[in-house]
Structure 1
Amino acid sequence: MAIAIRHTLKTLRTIRYQSVFQRNISMSAKLRAEEAIEELKTKNPYFEKYAGKIAALQQTSPDEFLNRLESVEKQKKPQKKTEKERNYSELLRPKPSIGGVATGEVPFKKLDDIMKMDLLQDKTADEIKDIWLEYHKQKDVLVATIPIDTFNLLSKRSKEHAIFIVPLPRSQGFEFFLLQFAGNTVHFTPLLCYQVHKENAPECLNIVHYTEFSEKLGIVLMRGEYDKNVISAQEALCLVNQLQLYYSQNNQSKLDLLKKFTHEPDSFKHMDVIKELENLTIK
């Protein structure tokens, strides 16, 4: 069963993502991109594990990749961002994430810190769902109520595939985001940011699943906070929907990609997750 994600600021229309890769790439740019990737491999053990696959992807858009690396070397000041384009140099500086500390240490709010639990004890599942959505109506968050069977499937897969990557379309291609499970939370950070800062990379999206009503009413409450300086509301929604499609639905092609990423990294191809996104219509 699909998760009914509701963004509380505006009604989101159907989004169709299409590829925007540049077709004409100079050979010199490709060679310089490959050299830059080799340099990163020596600095980051995680990058080394997937260096070949990332290198293959970057060859489709080497100019953009080189521009990101040059922004690190020159330490350019942040420039004014638009809705479709942002300055990647901001990602290359370690900074406080949502909550004010590093990604692995972000304390999430307990449910009784968000709502008065004593007022919900005698409510039905439908009543709690309505209260949950209404409470967040004017807040910059993503919320949902998830059936317990759907959550159990997500939880089961997260134990085997605790880390994965998903793409977002950008003006010159796609940007990958690393997602990582930690208990009932899911943390997202730009892959480029993780490659530079590793465990000190700040997250841009934090998903929390509250299970207080799972046994009694068979529902789990979901709440997602995102960094508006890194991703928009629509982009946060896209990441959450991809999380749902890979971890809480029985789609064989997506399951195969999860297994390859976890157990057969040499056969994992970044273009395959891009193809999955290009064939997806989010409603």
Structure 2
Amino acid sequence: MQSVSSISRIWRSIASNARNLFLFKDPFVRSFSTVPIGVTSRKLHRSDIPYHFLKWGSLGFCRTSRFATGFSPLEHKPLDSIVDIERLKNRYPDDIASIWDDYHIGRGHIGATMTAKLYHLLEHRAKECRYFVIPLWRGSGYTTMFVQVQTPHILFTGLEDYKARGTQASPYFTVSFYTEFAESKDLVLIRGDIVFTSKLTDSEAKWLLETAQSFYLNDVRYKLVERFNKETRDFEFKDVLQALDMPIL
């Protein structure tokens, strides 16, 4: 567990230096395979990195930039490999959402949905502000998660793990957004995959997904995301704790 002071030191050191299963083609398929974050084929350029990330000298430019830009460490499963899209086309949006949510319960996955309007807002804001930190409360303290929103994906890993392992740190939890029904049903399907069940429970992963979305979709909370990405020196972790009604240790 971490206190605000320890989080501040970490951050500043980094900154300065089963219903309707017939619809599903494979009820046991996992959307992602585990691959270290550092595995990526994309060549990176300094112009891709937000200004304050270039100041993370203690980790070195290469280690930091690979985590902070467009990496592709996970094998994405297309929606049609999970669900029979043709059958779902004839369902009402509420029915599709209910089927999707129920299917993912208890499978090490998180199923959720959102409207197309909210997804487009998330997508728009993530283009300018991809990164954030979220405290995950556990008992009498919290573990801090480092978040990258790069639609149609969100990736979560432990801040301490990333601090220690850099781009070799694997994500604990990954999220994918499927927009196949965005225009026709005003519905975006969301699938979360817990990569390490030893790191996160289903309920913790669900809370992280909901909380991350709240910081991007709520205008007041999004100001903290903007400050984290654009005005790093003015960012205070205690403001995140206060927004989540968590005690400042």
TM normalised by structure 2 equals 0.71
Alignment of 1:186-265 (within 5 A): 186-226=154-194, 227-250=196-219, 252=220, 254-265=221-232
Maintained 8 Å contact 1:20/1:170: no
Maintained 8 Å contact 1:20/1:169: no
Which letter does structure 2 place at the counterpart of 1:233? Answer: D
Which letter does structure 2 place at the counterpart of 1:216? Answer: S
Distance 1:138 1:48, change over 3 A: closer
Deviation at 1:112, TM superposition (A): 0.8
Cα separation, 2, equivalents of 1:109 and 1:261: 31
Which letter does structure 1 place at the counterpart of 2:104? Answer: H
Post-superposition Cα deviations, 1:215-265, rounded to whole Å, max 9, x if no partner, equal 111110001111211011222122112112101223x2x122112111111
1:48 to 3, 10, 14: 14
Distance 1:48 1:112, change over 3 A: same
Deviation at 1:126, TM superposition (A): 2.0
Maintained 8 Å contact 2:148/2:156: yes
Maintained 8 Å contact 1:21/1:172: no
Which letter does structure 2 place at the counterpart of 1:114? Answer: I
Maintained 8 Å contact 1:246/1:255: yes
Q: 1:106 maps to which residue?
A: 74
Higher relative contact order (CA 8 A, sep 6+): 1
Q: 1:25 maps to which residue?
A: none
Cα separation, 2, equivalents of 1:179 and 1:21: 19
Deviation at 1:47, TM superposition (A): 4.7
Task: Determine if the alignment matches structure 1 residue 163 to structure 2 residue 131.
Answer: yes
Deviation at 1:132, TM superposition (A): 1.3
Post-superposition Cα deviations, 1:143-192, rounded to whole Å, max 9, x if no partner, equal 11111111111111111110111111245532211111223000000001
Cα separation, 1, equivalents of 2:117 and 2:109: 24
Q: 2:88 maps to which residue?
A: 120
Cα separation, 2, equivalents of 1:184 and 1:99: 17
- How many pairs were matched up? 197
Flag structure 1 segments of 5+ consecutive residues without an equivalent.
Answer: 1-18, 23-29, 52-97
SS of corresponding position for 1:243: helix
Distance 1:222 1:47, change over 3 A: farther
Q: 1:179 maps to which residue?
A: 147
CA RMSD of aligned residues (A): 2.9
Alignment of 1:68-87 (within 5 A): none
Structure with larger Rg: 1
Maintained 8 Å contact 1:177/1:188: yes
Q: 1:152 maps to which residue?
A: 120
Q: 1:268 maps to which residue?
A: 235
Alignment of 1:3-14 (within 5 A): none
Which letter does structure 2 place at the counterpart of 1:107? Answer: E
Cα separation, 1, equivalents of 2:102 and 2:239: 38
Cα separation, 2, equivalents of 1:166 and 1:139: 24
Cα separation, 2, equivalents of 1:147 and 1:221: 9
Deviation at 1:279, TM superposition (A): 5.8
Maintained 8 Å contact 1:204/1:231: yes
SS of corresponding position for 2:90: coil
Cα separation, 1, equivalents of 2:210 and 2:89: 30
Distance 1:273 1:50, change over 3 A: farther
Which letter does structure 1 place at the counterpart of 2:233? Answer: D
